[in-house]
Structure 1
Amino acid sequence: MKPNLTPIKKQKNRKYYFTIQKKFWFSHTMSFMWLILSIYLSLPWLYDLSDIVTMPGAIFIITGIAYIPGYMSAFLIVSLILDRQPNFKNEFPTESVTLLIAAYNEEKGIYQTLKYVTDQDYTGEIQVIVINNNSSDKTTEEVLRAKKELKANISILHEPNPGKFNALNTGLQYVQTPYVITLDADTLIHPSAVRYLVSRIKSSPEDVCAVAGSMLVRNSRETIWTKIQEWDYFLGIASIKRLQGLYQGTLVAQGAFSLYKTPCVQEVGGWPDAIGEDIVLTWRLLQKEWKVYFEPLAVAFTDAPTTLAHFAKQRSRWARGMVEGLKEIKPWQQPQVYTRYLTGINLLMLYLDLVYTLCWLPGLVLAFFGIHWIVGPMTLLVLPLTFVSYSILYLYQKHYVFRHLNLRIRINKLGFILFILFYQMIMSPVSLYGYLQEFFKLRRVWK
C-alpha cells in the first residue's frame, strides 16, 4: 500500500443545499411511500397467510420479513443518494495523537501492526502505547523488538486483569494528547489512515467527539467464509456506517480503529465493563449530545474469521454488545432525533432477526416443496432495493475511496453471490444466539 499525498479535489458548493434535517425527513417520506406501495401489493398475500396463522399473526410475520426491511432499505438508498461527505479543511494536520493497542497473545502479528503504524504519512507525533493484557506468549518481546528496530515512540504497559476494557482504561491513564486512537493488535492501517482520521475530526464541528475508521477484510482469499465477509465489510457494514455518519450518529466507533477526543472519553469514565465495550462507549458519548462521524478514507484491514464457528462467536458477541448498549441507554433516552431513530433500528433488529429465523427460514423450506405461505414472489420486493443500495455504495467505494487510496477491488464473484443469497440466513440465527446469551447472562468470551 502506498500513501496518496495529492490533496483531494474539493466538491463545489451546490446552489441548493439540503440540510441534514431535510435529508432525514425527505428520506423518511420516500420510504413511507415505498411502504404504502408494498402494503397495497401484498394484500392478497396478507389475506392468504391470515387464513393459516390469523390476521395478527400474518401482520406480525409479514411486517418483520417485508414491510420493515423494505422501509429500512428505501431509507438507506435515499440517504446514500443525498449523502455528500464534507470537504476537509486541512488534509495534513500535525496534532499529536496517542494510539492504544490492547494485546493478548498477539506475538504473531503485533510487529507487523506496529510496522504499519510507523509507516504512516502523518507528520504529527504518534505516541504508541501497547497494553499487554496478561499474555502468555512472546507479545512483550515482539513489541520491544519493534521499538528497537523501527525506532518508534512505543511504550508497553502491563494489565493483569483480563478484558479489553481493562487494558484500554489502563492505557488511557497515560494519554496526554488531545486525541486518542484505538487499534486492534491484528489490524493493519493504510499509510494515510491516521492522517484522514485526524483531518476529519479537525474539519468537524466542536461537538464531534469521535470518528470511526473504515474496516475492510485483509484475508479475503483465505477461505470461503472470508470471501463472503469481504463483501459484508465492503458493502454492508460500510453502507450502514455512511448512513449513520450522515446523520451524525455513527453507532459504533469500533475499537478496532477509531479516533476519540481524549477529554470526552475521560468524561464518560473510559471503556465500560462490557463485551461490546466500544458500542456502549459510543452510546454514552452520543447521550452527552456529542456527535460521532465516520471517515471512509481512514481504512484499516482486519483478519475476518476463517471458519463458521469463529464467525458465529464473533457476530454473536457483536449482537450481545448491541443488547448491552440498548439495556444501558434506551433509544428514547438519546437526546438527538437522529440517534433515537438509529438506535431504535437496533432495537427493531431483535424482532427482525427473530421473525427471520423462526418464520422466514422455515418458510423457505416450505417454498422448496411448493408451499408459498411465507416465502413467495412478494418477498422478492426487497431484493431490488438491496441491489440498488449496494450498487450505489460499490461505485462510491471504487471511485472515491479506493481511487484516492491507490487500492484495487479484488475480484471475488463467488463471495458476492454467496453474500447476496445466503449471508442473512447465517447472520440472523447467529445474532439471535447473541441476544439469548445476554438474556441468560452466559459467560462472556472476548475471543
Structure 2
Amino acid sequence: MQEFLRYFVEGIDPFNIIRSVNALPSLPWYNALFVLCVIGPLVRYQGPIVALWLANLVVPHRLFPPPPRSMVQPPLVSVVIAGRNEAAGIAGTIRSLLGCSYPRLEIIVVDDCSTDDTFSIARSFEGTGHVRCYRAATHSGKPSCLNIGIQRARGEFIMIVDADADVQIGAIHEMLIPFDDPKVGAVTAHLRVRNARDSFVTRMQEIEYAFNVATSRLWRSHLGILSIIAGAGGMFRAGALRLLGGYDTGLGDDTDVTMRLRKAGWTLRFAPHAIIWVDCPATWRGLIRQRSRWERNMIKIRLRKQIDILRISLFGYGNFLMMLDQILVRFLAPMLFLFGLVWYVATDPFTTSRILTFMYWIHVWETVLRMLAANDVIGVPRLGALPLAPFLPLYRLILRLALLPPIVKELLRIGLRHGYVPEKIWRETPHW
C-alpha cells in the first residue's frame, strides 16, 4: 500500500509521467492491453473537444448559428408537456414558457391520471389563452400522453418539455433557427443542471452535462451523427413527427424517436444557445436508478429494437457511424475497461501500481483540459468546478461499477420490465 500511495503522489510529477510513458513499450502484453483500453477512449473523448476548441479560436462563425432570424410572421409552436404527479414543478414550467418571449405559443398539458394537484394547477393557467389541459382516461405512461398532445397540437413545430423544467428566455427562437433548412426534422436544446449546487453528485453531473450534453452534441451535430433529441427539451417539425406516428407507446423514449427520425432521413441539429434548466438526482441512489434505466433502455432500443440502422444499404454511412460510435463508446469501451481493471487488480494489484496511478492522473489532466475547453467554447462547466476534476475519474468508476449489474441483467433479459411503464402498456409491448 505504501508503494501504491507513493506512485499516486508521484503522478503529478512531470518527470515521472514521462518515465511512465517511456516504460509503456516494455510492459507485458496484458498490462499494455489494459493501458490501450484506457488511452484509446481518452483519445476518442479528447479529440473532438480539442477540435472544437481550435475551431472556436479560428472559425467561431462555423460552430454557432447566426443570430435569430427576423420573422414577419413567427410560426405557431405547440409545447407538449406530459407528466404524472408533477404538482411541485408544473407551475414553474408553464410560467417559464409564458415568459420566454416567444409570441405565438400554445401549451398543451396532458396529465397521466395524477393523484396530486398537477391537473388543477395546470388548468389554473388556461385563462392566459395559451394553455390547454387534458387528462388521460387511464394511466398509460408518458409516451401515450405525449401522443395525445401531439394529436391536438396545431403548431407547425412541436416542442416536448419535461413537466419540471425551466425554459430560458429566447430558447424557442434559438431552436427555430436550424429549421430554416427544410431537411432538419428535429432540434435538441442545451440542457443545464439547475440544482448543481445541491450535492456532490449534482456537481459531478454538471460537469458530465457540459461534456456529454453540450460539447458532445455540438460536434456531433456538425458531423451529422447526433444520436439523441432530448426528451426534456426537443423541438420537432410537426409533419416529421406525425409521419412517424408519434411515440411508440411502449418503448417510446427520446432515443427511440431519434433513431426513427434518422431512419426516415431527417437531419438533426443541436441549438447551443437554447437553454433549458433541469434537475438531476441529488443522491447516489437516485442517480444509479436513473442511469440504470438509461443503460437498460440503451440496450433495449439501440442494440435490439433499432440495431438494423447499421445497415448501410438502407440507412447510409452517417447512421452507421453514429450507431457504431454509440456501441463502442457507451458499451464496449466501458465494459472492457471495467473487466480489465478488475482482472488487473485481482491478479497484480501492487507490484506495478504505477500503471494504475498513471492512468488515474491521465484521466485527471484530460478532465481539466476538457473542462477548460468546454467552458471556452460553450460556457460550461463553471471554472469554479475545476477543483472537482480529481474526483471525476473516481465518480465515473463508481458509477460504472454500479451500472454493471443492470447492464448484465438486461443482456440476460432478467427483469425486463421497468416500473415507469404501466402494466397494461407493458403487456401490449414487444419484449425487445
Q: TM-score range by the shorter chain?
A: 0.7 to 0.9
Could you tell me which amino acid in structure 1 is paired with residue 418 of structure 2? R
Residues 410 and 301 of structure 1, relative CA distance in 2, 3 Å threshold: farther
Alignment correspondent of 2:399: 427
For the pair 1:144 / 2:123, whether they are aligned, the reply is yes
Alignment correspondent of 2:374: 393
Alignment correspondent of 2:46: 73
For the pair 1:279 / 2:255, whether they are aligned, the reply is yes
1:147-296 matches, within 5 Å, as: 147-148=126-127, 151-159=128-136, 160-202=138-180, 205-275=181-251, 277-296=253-272
Alignment correspondent of 1:315: 291
Do the aligned partners of 1:133 and 1:167 also contact (CA within 8 Å) in 2? yes
Residues 129 and 221 of structure 1, relative CA distance in 2, 3 Å threshold: same
SS in 1 for 2:81: strand
Q: Deviations over 1:264-296 (max 9, x none)?
A: 111122112455610011011111221100001
Residues 207 and 243 of structure 1, relative CA distance in 2, 3 Å threshold: same
Q: Deviations over 1:283-318 (max 9, x none)?
A: 111112211000011001111101101101111212
Residues 43 and 378 of structure 1, relative CA distance in 2, 3 Å threshold: farther
In the aligned structure 2, how far is the partner of 1:332 from the partner of 1:308?
35
Q: Which range is displaced more, 231-240 or 379-388?
A: 379-388
Do the aligned partners of 1:180 and 1:261 also contact (CA within 8 Å) in 2? yes
For the pair 1:328 / 2:308, whether they are aligned, the reply is no
Do the aligned partners of 2:165 and 2:277 also contact (CA within 8 Å) in 1? yes
Could you tell me which amino acid in structure 2 is paired with residue 306 of structure 1? A
In the aligned structure 2, how far is the partner of 1:108 from the partner of 1:409?
28
Q: Which range is displaced more, 366-375 or 385-394?
A: 366-375
1:349-368 matches, within 5 Å, as: 349-360=330-341, 363=344
How many residues in Structure 1 have an aligned counterpart in Structure 2? 387
Do the aligned partners of 1:100 and 1:128 also contact (CA within 8 Å) in 2? yes
Residues 275 and 46 of structure 1, relative CA distance in 2, 3 Å threshold: farther
SS in 2 for 1:426: helix
Residues 252 and 327 of structure 1, relative CA distance in 2, 3 Å threshold: same
SS in 1 for 2:27: helix
Residues 224 and 89 of structure 1, relative CA distance in 2, 3 Å threshold: closer
In the aligned structure 2, how far is the partner of 1:133 from the partner of 1:383?
44
Alignment correspondent of 1:122: 102
SS in 2 for 1:87: coil
Do the aligned partners of 1:130 and 1:156 also contact (CA within 8 Å) in 2? yes
In the aligned structure 2, how far is the partner of 1:117 from the partner of 1:182?
12
Q: Deviations over 1:358-416 (max 9, x none)?
A: 22366568887453386253675565544333322111223xxx8xxxxx958445545
Alpha-carbon offset, residue 230 of structure 1: 1.5
1:418 corresponds to which of 386, 391, 395: 391
Could you tell me which amino acid in structure 2 is paired with residue 341 of structure 1? L
TM-score by length of 1: 0.78
Do the aligned partners of 2:186 and 2:229 also contact (CA within 8 Å) in 1? yes
TM-score by length of 2: 0.80
Could you tell me which amino acid in structure 2 is paired with residue 280 of structure 1? D
Q: Deviations over 1:306-332 (max 9, x none)?
A: 110110111121222222123222352
Alignment correspondent of 1:436: 408
In the aligned structure 2, how far is the partner of 1:413 from the partner of 1:262?
41
Alignment correspondent of 2:14: none
SS in 1 for 2:404: helix
Residues 327 and 289 of structure 1, relative CA distance in 2, 3 Å threshold: same
In the aligned structure 2, how far is the partner of 1:397 from the partner of 1:366?
43
In the aligned structure 2, how far is the partner of 1:86 from the partner of 1:129?
29
1:48 corresponds to which of 20, 24, 27: 27
SS in 2 for 1:272: coil
Do the aligned partners of 1:224 and 1:415 also contact (CA within 8 Å) in 2? no
For the pair 1:300 / 2:281, whether they are aligned, the reply is no
For the pair 1:371 / 2:344, whether they are aligned, the reply is no
Do the aligned partners of 1:66 and 1:379 also contact (CA within 8 Å) in 2? no
Identity across aligned pairs (percent)?
19
SS in 1 for 2:247: coil
For the pair 1:99 / 2:79, whether they are aligned, the reply is yes
SS in 1 for 2:186: strand
Do the aligned partners of 1:228 and 1:416 also contact (CA within 8 Å) in 2? no
Could you tell me which amino acid in structure 1 is paired with residue 333 of structure 2? L
Do the aligned partners of 2:52 and 2:377 also contact (CA within 8 Å) in 1? no
